[in-house]
Each structure stands twice: as structure tokens, then as C-alpha cells.
Structure 1
Amino acid sequence: MPTPSLLATRLPPWLAHALRAQRGPVPWNAVLRGALAAVPLLVAVLAERPSAGVPAALGAMLAGINDRPGSRRSSVARLGLPAVAGSAGLLLGTALAAAAGGGRSLVVLPLVFGLLGLVAGAVSSTGPVASACGTQVLVAVVIGAGMPLPEPGPVRALLFLAGAGWLLLLRLVLPSPGGLGRGPYRLDGEREAVAAVYEAVAGLLRAVGGPGARAGRAALSAALDQAQDALAGPRLRRYASSAAERRLHARYAAAFPLAEAATALAWAGGTLPDRIVEGPLRLAAAVRADGPCGPLAAPARTDAGLRALDDALLRAAAAFDRPADTPPGRTDARSYVSVLRRVWSAAGREYGLRVALCCATSTVVAQWLHHDHWYWLPATTVFLVKPDLGPLASRVMCRAVGTAVGAAVFGALALLASGHLPLVAAVALCGALLPVATRHFAVQTAVVTVLVLSLVVLGGEPPASWGRLVESLLACATVLLVGHLPLPGRRGHAVRAALDTAVGAAHRYVGHVLDAREDHTGRAALRRDAYRSLAAARTAIDVSAAELPPVARHSAGSESVAGAVERLIDTTTACAVQLDHRAAELPSPHAELLATHLSELDRAWAVPAR
């Protein structure tokens, strides 16, 4: 029997992607939160107002989909902002239904949903939180316009917000595994993220000179990204934890020179002694314990990379053993301007237009069919059109299979049990499964299908497993058609926009290293931006490459550009280390190699830019 990797090489990319699933340990704390998220629904059922619990359960379900690993601080924005957007959408949808006359219109609703889809889609292209906000506001507008509940619009919106707020409260209050004894707000997620950075530094040093060096550098970049996101949330205890936060920020900053030195050593190759990883591992343990690191083993200072590593370890030891007085930085207003520019960029306009077409088309079809659950079709297309759920063909295939399985499971449940309490139990079970189900779109779809069908019955509507399957298949056909529809201009704007950002970040990093060699803080920020932009570009390329051939061909040649950017950034990092530890200018081999990589990037970038 062929191994999974061998089997994947024999399958087309779009099919191989649909068969892949994320791996990792079960997040038991998220599973517990998902089960407890059904408490508001249970309270409403016990109070004999099950329809009042439906909006709360919907809010909790959508928040549960966004409840990913990370710190408590970052979860405030990751769960809270989409919940506010969804609450506003539910209120707007209820008002639209009243204006359209019972939520029936072949003109007003498709037009409004299309305009909302255009704006929400463009906003969604700017980042993961914005994507969640855009999705929730569209889904909530459609549900508010079509789902017949006795509660008025403002009450529905408040109930939706209460359900999502209940899950967010659980995220903030419940302790993490192993976190008992220090209080609920003990920055455990942030400490774990920063500790993972030092462990990734050790992993890269261990891989130097071997085939895993490139993967180690990518893992280090991902760990730095996750720590940066974990530390970017609001300050939950402004006064009591300010010293701990400053200390953690200082320890995160102390990892930058270590990451730079490790990257330079990986670029140079060679063999390093095994004991060289002891220092970063001890720093990781100190971050988790929130204590001093103690004495660190110093590497031999035989070349620029090892001298840089030794200096970085000394500075890190000093940062760990003294109190940090520098407060956490604030977001520059220019970053908000950059976000607004990305909203109406070519990539934002392309995605927004496809979302608008999907919403408007599916609403027209659903209104023309004139059935009770017409809102299922546009709500399903909103989820299906999201590119951050994977390639289009993979999304459609997984959606169809997952809906069929979920509808069959709910049909069996409806035959075996009756009454409201079994449905509440099904909702609680589905909420508990969501954190694990999000690792594969088909499994997530099956779980959500059972949950949604349970809520439909609790809302006073008849069971409709067969109708749910038909609506999902119609949504799959709509999104598949619109996703491959030729639009004005060229395809592949998302990949080109990500590559353009990565190329610009790489050039800024090169210029800073050559022109401002003493500004280490600015250099660290630009290096982070360069590597993070490169990772985002590679993600966009991987998704595009797994599309069907008519779409995948539009991003042909993008991998060569990403490879040229990666070589340029790695070489620039090695040059920065050389400039720090030499009195003269760059050594000739480094300068020549840097010039070669710049020319290589210009040639590679000129091909897809035509």
C-alpha cells in the first residue's frame, strides 16, 4: 500500500489538498469551552423559550470557529470584533426583511447582499480578523433576513452578542492546562509563544549544516509571527500585570538578535557543536517559569556568526536578569492607512467582486425557488467563497461530502430521539468537536451541519436534512462557477499582491542594512516584516497552486520569485551579522552574492509582473 506522501505525489494538487488534514494535540481547554458554549441555549430551553437561545447559539458557534490557539489577549480581538460585526449584521438583516416584506424580494435583497458582499469581501482580504468580521456580518445579515424567529431585531442582535460574549468570557476566565495557581490572566499563552521562539532558535541551530536547515528557519519565522500576534492584544489587567507584560516584551525583543545570528549560521552552513542549543533552551525554560535564566554556555567566537550568537546570548541573559522598564509599543497610525490601501487594492477588489457575485446570484436563485429555508443558500456561499479555507476545488468537494455526512447523522438523530433536550445535547457535542473539526473543512462542515439543523428545529422549523444537502450542492455549484468566471483584468491578484508586499519588504530590509547599520531596532523590525511577508506570499502561492489548472496557471512562476526573495533575505541577514562584527565594509564574497540575489529577484519578478 503506498504511503500518504507517495500517494499525494500521484494525485493532482487540487485533490491531494482535499485529503490533507492538520495534525496536533487535542486542545482540551477549547473542547471544554465549546461544550460549555451551549449553556445559554440550555437556559433558554429550560425557560421554555428555545427560539431565544438560537441567536445565542449561533453567536457561540461562529465564535467557536474563531477560537484558535493563542493568547487570551489576542482572543479579545479574534473573537470579539467578529461578534460585534455579526451582531450588527443580524440587526441589519432583520430590518431588511421587514423592508422587503417578509424577506422576499428578487431585486432588493440580491442588490443589498451584493453591495455588502463587495465591501465585506474587500475588507476580508486585509487579514484573518478582518476576514472573520466580513464573513460574520454577511452570514448574520442573511440569517437575520431569512430565519423566522419571534424575537425582534434588537433582541436577536443582543442575544447573538451574548452567545459570542459567553464563549469569550470562558476563554478569558478558564485556566489553561497546567495553569492553575497563578490566576486566570497569567499571560500563559504569551509566555508559551515567546518560549516557542527560543525553542525554534535551538531547533534551527541544531539543523545547521543539514537538510532541515531551511525548514528550521521557516519554523523560527512562524514562531516569531505567533509570538508577535500573541503580544499584540489589549492589556487585560492594566496595572497588576504591567510589569509582567514589559518583562515579556523585553524577552521577546531579546530573541531577535538570537534569531538573526541563527539565520546567519544556517546560511553559512557548516557544523556546530551540540551544546550550542543549550543556551536558547534554557532561555525558553526561563520564559515559561517567568524567572531568571542563570548562567549560559557561551559558544566559541571563531567567526562572525558565532560571535553574533555569543553577543546575543549575553544580551538575552542581561535582559532576563534585570527588570524591564520599557512599556509595550503601540500600533503606528500608518499601519491603519496601509490596511485601508489594501482594502481597495487589486486583490481586494477581485475578491470583493467575487463575494458580491456569489451573494447576489445565490440570493436570486434562493428567492426564485421560494422555499422556507432560502437563506441557507447565500449563507453557505459566504463560507465557501473564503480563500483562507483552502483552494476552491478542495472547499467545494469537502463541503459537499461534509454536508452529506452531517445531514445523515442528523437524520439518524431525529429518528432516535425527540424533544428539545437531545437537540441541546447535540449542539453541546458539536461545540466540543469544533476545535478539532476545524483541522479539516469536510469534518468541520459535518459538525456545523448537525449543529445548524438542530438549531433550525429549536427555532420552530421542521427538520430539513435533505433540503440542507440540496442547498449546499447549489452553493457549491454557484461558488465553483463564479470562482472560475473571468473578470476584467488578470487573475491571481492575491498572489501578486502578496509577492509585491514581500519584494518591497525585502528591498527595504536590504537598504536599511546597507545604509543604517547602527540601527539594530529598526533592522529587527524590517527583518520581521520581510520574513512575515515572505511566509504570507508562500501561503498564497500554495493555495493557488492547489486550484484547478485553469486558475492555478495564473500564478505560474510565483514560486521562483518567492525563492529569490528568500535567498535575498537570508543573505541580507548574513551581511548584517558581518557588518556588526567587522570594522571594514562587507567582504567581497558577501557583497557579490547580495548583488547577484538582487539581480536574480529583479529578473524573476519581471516575468509574472508582465
Structure 2
Amino acid sequence: MCRGALAAGPLLLAGMLGGQTASGVLAAIGAMLAGINDRPGSRRASVKRLGVPALAGALGLFLGTYAGQGLAAVPLTLALTALGLVAGGISAVGPVASAAGTQLLVAAAIGAGMPAAESGWQRALAFLAGAGWLLVLRLALPTPGSLAGDFRFDGEREAVADVYDAIAALVDAVGGEHATARRAALTAALDHAQDALAGPRLRRYAGCAAERRLHARFAAALPLAEAATALYWSGEAVPARAAEGPRRLAAAVRGNTGTGPLPAPHRSAPALRALDDALLRAADAFDRGEGAHRGLLGRRRGFRHALRAALGTGGREYGLRVALCFGASAAIAQALHHARWYGQHEHWYWLPATAVFLVKPDLGPLASRVLCRAAGTVLGALVFAGLAALLPRPAGLVALVAVCGAVIPVATRHFAALTAAVTVLVLALVMAGGEPQASVSRIGETLLACALVLVVGHLPMPGERGGGVRARLAAAGSAADAYLLHVLGESGDRAERWALRREAYRTLAEARTAIAVAAAELPALARHTEGTDAVAEVLERLVDTTTACAVHLDETGRLTPRHLSRLRDALGELERRGMRERAGAAAAA
């Protein structure tokens, strides 16, 4: 909230004081969009999370400005449609790519539709300056409560400590009704810590020793997580003191201290022996503070992975839907812009920009997005209309922009609240730029965009529907296969095994999220992904069993009939559910 208050408002004020109000508005828009992506986490992760979408937005503003200045209505609409196709496919790669695709299209619409005297490169630089200012604030300002230690790594420390807490919670829940939820929470904590540590490193600076220590402590958590998962798989309750060790390690990470005394081991079962051995190795790693190999953070998803995701079934389906929404909304907006009976439609870019946000499947089910967007826009427009009649200008508008910038980080927890805050901020920026109050037109165009996206969202598309969900499920199946083949091959490379295990659980979590969103859609859309949740459940059982097999092989060198039976059951179930090729390959191995 502090960063949000210091971003858009001061940038707008600086532009006004310098006689460059238009550039100040664009910088404030760049800061606003970056603020939407400014989430809790580590500083290193924020470089990618904020920087990549900002670069995409600057590119979109650059392209949109020159397209709007040089193309007539029909060629411009075709160009925006083609850009929507590309950005939609890119958005299927992951969360950062999705944010980048969104900012690319929103900025392109603004550049094409917002009249300005500046050239495209000048507008792009102003946009980048605003987003860059927020990134500087993110990197420079300490998080509250972190001043006692090295505040540069406060987000990383908290993320790694949360992993140890999640391990302890899972060990406590073994054999109980909450065990499955705790295992999912452990996966989420590991994913978050992996992301927190995966950004740029301070290799040649004084902070590198603290950084190596954090990597070592995360690496030490991986065998503990593996052993805890094996205990969860066995389903047999363990002594209460077994969870005390991971809790003490969590406290040591948060306080940046040594581990202190650890509870006595309880070595009655292979998984418990593995837990105790991992605890002792972790304590040794905490004391020595040795760095961990980067490979322990999991496999890097490079250009080939991104290309496959963008060009796969999910990317094609999403790209077509985004292109159709973006192009159709741009065409309708320009038709209204040139219609004599409608009057001069100055802000035609609002319609395609709104459609971009609405068509994003990673923001929740389609019907929910539309309702939240409509409600949030109406509320925000009414609030702004009341404030605009009372606040002095321009000081009151600058203050309103600053307040909305501070509210956005809290409002991101609900799409309707975020929409309301952004609506007030955008309307304030429009009025600060010298244009009249536009609350009524904002409401009308949002409702039109909602209707358009609802129609397009339910239209039949070429190929199999639910392609995004099935693509993520296929990726999870491939990762599970790779993990199983490595474990059954009895390779001694534990670092590779832990990286494969991380990838298997991470892709499963991504598939589970996509399945949950698809299941909450209206029946016309939800039916296309029926049965995928059952496949994900079988894959989770397979990966859990593979983890239990890995731990048992380490401790005894052989598998029990129970392990083999559970493996055969999971592979047979996958084969019956249609994943015959994948299951057959794993069974043969």
C-alpha cells in the first residue's frame, strides 16, 4: 500500500508540475498496471513479475500509437485482432506471461485510441518510467517488520520458513482427516519458495553469503518434505515430537540463527528414519551454511516449454478467444466512435481494454468475472462521480489517484474490488488529462464488453474445448512419468530426483487450479472438462506413491508388496481413464 501511494499519484503530480501532463498520465497508468502485479513475495521474484509485463506494455503502447496514427479503422482492427491472437497464445504459458499478454493488449488499445501529440517511443518511455518507478520502490523499500535483519532477503526468508512450517503441519496431520489438505499446502509453500529464490542473484556482492545460506536451507527442506510425504502416504500417525524439529528450523530461518537443540529421533519406520536423517542433515546445513546447486530449485522452463504452451491446444484456444474478443470490441468501439447518431466517442479504447481483462481465464470463471467487473465498474463510476463534484482540481484528483494506488494491493484479493479501485483511478487520470467527466460512458462500455465476452466465451471453437486444462493435465502426467522412471531406475542422483519431484507436484498444482476454475464455469463450459479432476487425483496418488517408493528404497533397498500394488493400481486407473500411452510406458519401466 505504501508503494502504491508513492507511485501513480506522485508521477501524475510530477508530470503536471513539469508541463507534461500527458506523459504524467501515461506514467501513472504504467505504475497502476505494475501495482496490479505487485504481490507479496521476494524482491528477486518481483523483477520478473513486474518487469516483463511492463516491457510488454511499453511495446504495446509503441505499436498501438503508430498503428492508430497510420491505419484506417478496418486495417487497425485487423492489426489489433492479430496482436490479440499472439498475446492470447503467450498468456497460456504462465502467470507472468499472462500479465504480459494483458498489458500488451491494454497498452496497444490505449496507444491506438488515446489522442496525443507525443510519438510512440516517447509514450512507451513514459509508460516504462512509471512501471520502473514502482519496481525501484519494490526493490528499495523494506518490508515492515524486516528492519532487524537483512531486509533484502526478507521475502525469501519468510518463504523458506513457511516450507518448514508446512512440513511440520503435514507431519502433525498424518493419519488424520486434514492430511490431504496439508500435503497440498506443502506443495504450495514449496512452489512459493521456489519462485522466491529463482530470480536474479547477487553473486559478487556482500549479500551473496546470506543468499547462499538461504539456498542451502531451502535445499535442506526438500528431503524433509519427501519424508513427510512418505509418512502421509503410509497413513500411520507419528509421535507428536516428530514435527518439533521442522518447527525449530522454521524459527531459525526467520531469525537467521542456528537451529539449537533438536528433538531425539524416533526411528521405528523407514519414513520416520528418513525424516530424522533429513532433519540431521538440515541441521548440519544450517550450521555450515553451504550453498546449494541451482538445480535443486527445479527444472527451468525455457523457450521450448513456452513455445509448446503457446502453440499447444490451450494456447491456440485462448489465443483465438482473445483475438475474437479484442478484435470485435475494437471494431464495435470504432464504429460507435464514427457513428453520427452516437456522438463523438472519445474513449473508444476502453471497450477493447475492458474485454481483455474479462476474457482472462486465470482470473476466475467467466460468469463470475463478468458479474464482478460490471458491479465493480458501476460502483467505481458512481463513487468517482460523487468525488469529482466535491474535490478541488487538480490537487484533489492527484490525491485521489494516490489513494487508489494504495488501495489496489488490498483490492487485488477480489476482482470486483479491484475493478472499482481501478475505475476510480482511471477516471481520475482521464479528468486530470483535461477531458470531461466520463462515468456514464465508462459504465455503458463496460456493460457492452461484458455482454460481448459472455457471447464469445460460449461460442464453439475449432478443436477440442477445455484445451488449456487438458494441456496442463498432460504436462502433469509427463512430469509424473519422468519422476517415476527416475525412482524405479534407482539412480543415485538425489538432486535430480528432488528436482523431478518438484516439477511433478508443481505441474499437478497448476492442473488442479485450472480444473477448479473450469469446474466453476456455467454448465455449457464446465462440461468440456468433466472427468479431469478424477485424472488429477489419480496422478496425485501416483506421485505420492512414487515419493513413498523413493524413501523406502533409500532406507531398505527394496519395495514392499504394498508399494508395488499401489503403483499398479494408479497406473491401471490412468490407463482406464484414457491415458494409455503414458501409463503403459511407465508400467513397462
TM-score, normalization by structure 1: 0.91
- Structure 1 residue 424 corresponds to structure 2 residue 424: no
Name the residue aligned to 2:380. Answer: 406
**Counterpart among 251, 255, 259 of residue 289 in structure 1:** 255
Given that residues 410 and 453 in structure 1 are in contact (C-alpha distance below 8 angstroms), is that contact kept between their aligned partners in structure 2?
yes
Aligned length: 573
Q: Share of identical aligned residues, percent?
A: 62
Residue 73 of structure 1 aligns with an amino acid whose one-letter code is R
Offset from partner CA, 1:203-242 (integer Å, 9 cap, x none) = 1011111100000000000000000000011124642122
Kept after mapping to 2: 8 A contact 1:59/1:163: yes
2:68 aligned residue: 97
- 1:54 is matched by which residue type in structure 2? V
Distance 2:456 2:195 in 1: 34
The DSSP-based 3-state class of the residue aligned with 1:532 is helix
Q: What residue identity is the alignment partner of 1:411? A: A
Q: Report what 1:107 is aligned to.
A: 74
Unaligned runs of 5+ in 1: 1-30
- Deviation of residue 178 (structure 1)? 1.3
Please report how far the alpha carbon of residue 281 of structure 1 lies from its aligned counterpart in structure 2 after TM superposition: 0.7
Separation in 2, partners of 1:608, 1:143? 48
Question: Structure 1: how far apart are the matches of 2:484 and 2:434?
Answer: 63
Q: What CA RMSD, in Å, does the superposition of the two structures yield over aligned residues? A: 1.7
Residue 216 (structure 2) aligned to one of 242, 250, 268: 250
Aligned to 1:136: 103
Q: CA deviation at 1:182?
A: 4.1
Q: Would the aligned equivalents of 1:73 and 1:236 in 2 still touch at CA under 8 Å?
A: no
Q: Please point out which of 537, 554, 572 is paired with 1:580.
A: 554
> Shift of residue 601 of structure 1?
1.7
Report the Cα distance in structure 1 between the residues aligned to 2:368 and 2:130, rounded to whole angstroms: 31
Are residues 52 and 291 of structure 1, via their aligned partners in 2, closer, same or farther at CA, if it must alter by over 3 Å? same
Partner of 1:307: 273
1: distance between equivalents of 2:197 and 2:118? 40
TM-score by length of 2: 0.95
What is the identity, as a one-letter code, of the residue corresponding to 2:2?
L
CA–CA separation in structure 1 for the residues paired with 2:580 and 2:460:
22
CA distance, structure 1, for counterparts of residue 579 and residue 549 of structure 2: 25
Q: Which residue of 2 aligns with 1:478?
A: 452
> What is the 5 A alignment of 1:363-512?
363-370=330-337, 371-512=345-486
Instruction: Provide the rounded CA distance (Å) in 2 between the counterparts of 1:506 and 1:326.
Output: 24
What CA distance in whole angstroms lies between the structure 1 residues aligned with 2:303 and 2:219? 23
| Aligned ranges 1:180-259 → 2 under 5 Å | 180-182=147-149, 184-185=151-152, 187-236=153-202, 238-259=204-225
Counterpart secondary structure, 2:215: helix
Is 1:34 paired with 2:1?
A: no
Q: Which stretch of the first structure deviates more once superposed, 467-476 or 414-423? A: 414-423
Note the residue ranges of structure 2 that are not aligned, 5 or more in a row.
Answer: 338-344, 583-589
8 Å CA contact 2:299, 2:500 repeated in 1: no
Mapped partners of 2:298, 2:32: distance in 1: 30
Aligned residue in 1 for 2:340: none
Q: 2:574 aligned with 1:601, yes or no?
A: yes
- Residues 282/41 of structure 1: CA separation in 2 closer, same or farther (3 Å cut): same
Residue in 2 that maps onto 1:322: 288
Identify if the C-alpha distance between structure 1 residues 206 and 326 changes in structure 2 by more than 3 Å, giving closer, same or farther: closer
| Equivalent residues of 1:505, 1:526 under 8 A apart | yes
Measure how far apart 1:327 and its partner are.
Answer: 5.5
Question: Deviations 1:145-178 (Å, cap 9, x if unpaired)?
Answer: 1112333322211111111111111100111111
Deviation at 1:511, TM superposition (A): 1.1
3-state DSSP of counterpart to 1:419: coil
Q: Give me the whole-angstrom Cα distance separating, in 1, the residues matched to 2:117 and 2:189.
A: 48
Q: 2:329 aligns with which of 343, 362, 368?
A: 362
More deviation, 147-156/107-116: 147-156
1:337 and 2:304 matched: yes
- What is the CA–CA distance in structure 1 between the aligned matches of 2:445 and 2:242, rounded to whole Å? 58
Alpha-carbon displacement from aligned partner over 1:361-393 (angstroms, at most 9, x marks no partner): 001100111111111101111111111111111
Distance 1:236 1:167, change over 3 A: farther
The letter for the 2-side match of 1:111 is L
SS of alignment partner, residue 239 of structure 1: coil
Shift of 1:516: 2.6
Of stretches 284-293 and 361-370 in structure 1, the one that deviates more from structure 2 is 284-293
Contact 1:517 1:580 in 2 (8 A): no
Secondary structure of the 1:509 match is: helix
Tell me by how many angstroms 1:436 deviates.
Answer: 0.7
1:308 positional shift: 0.6
Q: Equivalent residue for 1:16?
A: none
**Rounded Cα–Cα distance in structure 1 between residues aligned with 2:265 and 2:60:** 58
- Greater CA deviation, 219-228 or 455-464? 455-464
Q: Deviations over 1:582-604 (max 9, x none)?
A: 14x21112111211111112212
Taking a change above 3 Å as real, the CA distance of residues 331 and 304 of structure 1, as seen in their structure-2 partners, is closer
The residue number in structure 1 matching 2:585 is: none
Match of 1:570 in 2: 544
Q: Distance in 2 between matches of 1:334 and 1:264?
A: 27
Secondary structure of the residue aligned to 2:507 is helix
What secondary structure sits across from 2:302 in the alignment? helix
CA distance in 1, matches of 2:300, 2:257: 35
Distance of aligned partners of 1:608 and 1:389 in 2 relative to their CA distance in 1, 3 Å threshold: farther
Match of 2:112 in 1: 145
In the TM superposition, residue 284 of structure 1 has moved relative to its aligned partner by 0.7
Please point out which of 80, 83, 92 is paired with 1:116: 83
Q: Is residue 204–residue 262 contact of structure 1 (8 Å, CA) maintained in 2? A: yes
